[in-house]
């Protein structure tokens, strides 16, 4: 099987850039074709050019994986990942163990393939997460924050800007054809994996091989309410909040009363009024762990 290794030197806050020569060499020694991306969009283009049946290995973070996914989804190519980004939620969804990069590369090139569910939003594929509303707006503001702000200060700056002008849109949400919610919405996360934003456990119950997307909707929240739920969210203790609802299904149709920001796998999609979200069960071939344990579930009642 042909393998294409796509290395994003900008990922991992420059770490991949420092390692890129060694990674390209190691990939070629293992018989793969290896490429360094030249800018945003290049990983997607390379993944599209990879031949049918190829294993496409993204070296970088969730942005690189998301781009590579767009060239792999809907084909019989397979997606591997060497997670050296700052977030790595796709790798977390696959339960990839932490390995030094040479081992992670060998794993991505040679470990067996398995299938996981694949999400689509308005026709575009996503791997682990889709976020509509508040979190995407914070990401948008962080994107245009002054360049001297980095990491947590950049996030807090963006959060403060969004909270200052907090004005919730109204949403109508249908899951599998049934209307489940109508009202103000702070955010709706539609998740294939349990985490986004670099490990935030927004949907601890999500499992990429269960044939369902998991929606977590935060409804009416004040500024103070948002500040109160954030620490609970970081600990995965937000699901019991009275304004947090959870849904599972294969098709989410979401309509807002004004354009709302969205991100897929942490990549901004642009604001829109309507989002059609579909799941293709086991629609993506990936390199995961040999054993991907499912979430612990209570035994069914007998």
Does the footprint of ligand ATP cover residue 288 (CB under 6 A)? no
Question: From the CB of residue 21, how many other CB atoms can be counted at a distance below 10 Å?
Answer: 12
Does the footprint of ligand ATP cover residue 86 (CB under 6 A)? yes
Contact pattern for ligand ATP over residues 213 through 242, marking x by CB under 6 A: ------------------------------
Question: In degrees rounded to 5, what are phi and psi of residue 172?
Answer: -120, 125
| SS3 assignment, position 236 | coil
Closer of 98 and 297 to ligand ATP (Cβ): 98
Question: From the CB of residue 206, how many other CB atoms can be counted at a distance below 10 Å?
Answer: 27
Minimum distance, C-beta of residue 58 to ligand ATP, in the bound complex (Å): 8
Please, are residues 61 and 12 in contact by the beta-carbon 8 Å criterion? yes
Minimum distance, C-beta of residue 193 to ligand ATP, in the bound complex (Å): 13
Does the footprint of ligand ATP cover residue 42 (CB under 6 A)? yes
Does the footprint of ligand ATP cover residue 63 (CB under 6 A)? yes
Q: Which of 286, 289, 285 is nearest to 97 (CA)?
A: 289
Distance CA(81)–CA(37), nearest Å, equals: 15
Please, are residues 121 and 249 in contact by the beta-carbon 8 Å criterion? no
Please, are residues 210 and 116 in contact by the beta-carbon 8 Å criterion? no
Name the one range near ligand ATP by CB under 6 A: 85-93, 229-237, 246-254, 291-299: 85-93
Name the one range near ligand ATP by CB under 6 A: 83-91, 125-133, 208-216, 291-299: 83-91
Distance CA(200)–CA(62), nearest Å, equals: 14
Distance CA(209)–CA(58), nearest Å, equals: 21
Please, are residues 285 and 113 in contact by the beta-carbon 8 Å criterion? yes
Please report, as residue ranges, which positions from 266 to 285 form the binding site for ligand ATP (by CB under 6 A).
Answer: 266
Minimum distance, C-beta of residue 64 to ligand ATP, in the bound complex (Å): 3
Minimum distance, C-beta of residue 175 to ligand ATP, in the bound complex (Å): 28
Q: Which helix (H) or strand (E) holds 24?
A: helix 15-29
Does the footprint of ligand ATP cover residue 11 (CB under 6 A)? yes
Please report, as residue ranges, which positions from 87 to 126 form the binding site for ligand ATP (by CB under 6 A).
Answer: 87-88
Q: Which helix (H) or strand (E) holds 90?
A: helix 89-93
Contact pattern for ligand ATP over residues 167 through 206, marking x by CB under 6 A: -------------------------------x--------
Minimum distance, C-beta of residue 297 to ligand ATP, in the bound complex (Å): 28
Binding site for ligand ATP (CB under 6 A): 8-12, 37-40, 42-43, 60-64, 67, 85-88, 198, 266
């Amino acid at each position: 099987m042909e393998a294409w290794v796509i290395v994003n030197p900008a990922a991992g806050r420059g770490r991949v850039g420092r390692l890129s020569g060694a990674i390209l060499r190691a990939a070629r020694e293992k018989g793969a074709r290896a490429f360094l991306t030249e800018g945003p969009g290049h990983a997607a283009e390379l993944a599209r050019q990879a031949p049918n049946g190829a294993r496409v290995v993204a070296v970088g973070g969730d942005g690189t994986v998301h781009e590579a996914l767009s060239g792999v989804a809907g084909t019989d190519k397979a997606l591997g990942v060497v997670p050296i980004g700052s977030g790595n939620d796709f790798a977390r969804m696959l339960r990839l163990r932490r390995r030094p990069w040479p081992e992670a590369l060998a794993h991505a090139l040679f470990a067996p393939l398995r299938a996981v569910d694949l999400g689509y939003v308005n026709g575009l594929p996503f791997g682990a997460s889709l976020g509509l509303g508040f979190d995407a707006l914070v990401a948008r503001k962080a994107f245009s924050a002054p360049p001297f702000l980095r990491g947590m200060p950049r996030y807090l700056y963006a959060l403060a800007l969004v909270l200052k002008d907090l004005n919730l849109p109204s949403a109508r949400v249908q899951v599998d054809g049934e209307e489940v919610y109508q009202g103000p919405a702070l955010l709706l996360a539609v998740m294939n994996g349990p985490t986004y934003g670099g490990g935030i456990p927004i949907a601890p119950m999500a499992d990429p091989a269960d044939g369902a997307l998991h929606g977590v909707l935060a409804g009416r929240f004040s500024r103070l309410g948002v500040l109160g739920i954030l620490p609970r969210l970081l600990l995965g203790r937000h699901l019991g909040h009275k304004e947090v609802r959870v849904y599972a299904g294969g098709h989410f149709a979401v309509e807002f009363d004004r354009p709302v920001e969205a991100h897929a796998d942490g990549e901004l999609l642009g604001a829109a009024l309507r989002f059609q979200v579909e799941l293709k069960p086991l629609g993506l071939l990936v390199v995961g762990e040999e054993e991907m344990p499912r979430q612990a579930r209570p035994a069914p009642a007998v």
